Amino acid sequence: MRLRGIQFIYDNQGKKISAVVDLRRYEKEFAVFLQELSQKRSSGRTSTNPVVGDTTNVVGSGGNNSGSTVNARKLKIDALLKTARSYYGVPYRTGGISHSGMDCSGFTQTSFKSIGVNLPRISRDQALVGQVISKSQLQPGDLVFFATGTPGRVNHVGIVTDASNPNAIRFIHASSSRGIMETSMSINYWVRAYVKSRRIV
């Protein structure tokens, strides 16, 4: 079975290259490939988004669409969450964007940068990017915003990691007391502080 739908990628000269990927055999390798391209982009070695088009259609050997769709978005989200989780335990530091310390928006900005997405530096500005979605629509990779100070005023952000249980959606964030950690939105503190959600990828 062949998989089509990644219309093209860019080489390091900015030229388009057609791509046909057998994800049945090379899904993990392709995810690593996307991550490496994104890292090259974020380091300034290429100025274009390495992947164009979000969906990859599965085409059978006869050339007919089998009706199944492999979502290339999932590969990017998997790479995003792998990067985000690599920061587990990093201490909280206001203005920080490295393993020596991070604040909440520095964490989300750095994590998304690893897949070639540039977010604003401040959480309230990140809350203006992407597509507005409801709490019931949350998926892994979405951003969730909270007001832990002035009611209704965004001052905290995290990345959804697991939305399989709508009553206990989990997210990873930079806690001011415990550093980078994963927790549940069902905890009363976060239920009261929740403001909005955005989908970036």
Catalytic annotation, pick one of 173, 185, 197, 201: 173
**Whether residue 99 lies in the annotated active site:** no
Token pair, residue 121, equals: 């530096």
Token pair, residue 145, equals: 């915003």
Neighbouring-strand partners of residue 179:
175
Q: Give 110's contacts (C-beta < 8 A, 6+ positions apart).
A: 87, 97, 98, 102
Among 26, 146, 28, 9, which residue's Cα sits nearest to residue 82?
28
**Whether residue 156 lies in the annotated active site:** yes
CB 145 within 8 A of CB 156: yes
Q: Give 159's contacts (C-beta < 8 A, 6+ positions apart).
A: 80, 81, 84, 108, 111, 141, 142, 143, 144, 171, 172, 173
Rounded Cα–Cα distance for residues 170 and 183 (Å)? 5
**Whether residue 113 lies in the annotated active site:** no
CB 64 within 8 A of CB 153: no
Catalytic annotation, pick one of 72, 75, 102, 104: 104
Catalytic annotation, pick one of 74, 76, 113, 156: 156
Active site amino acids = 104, 156, 173
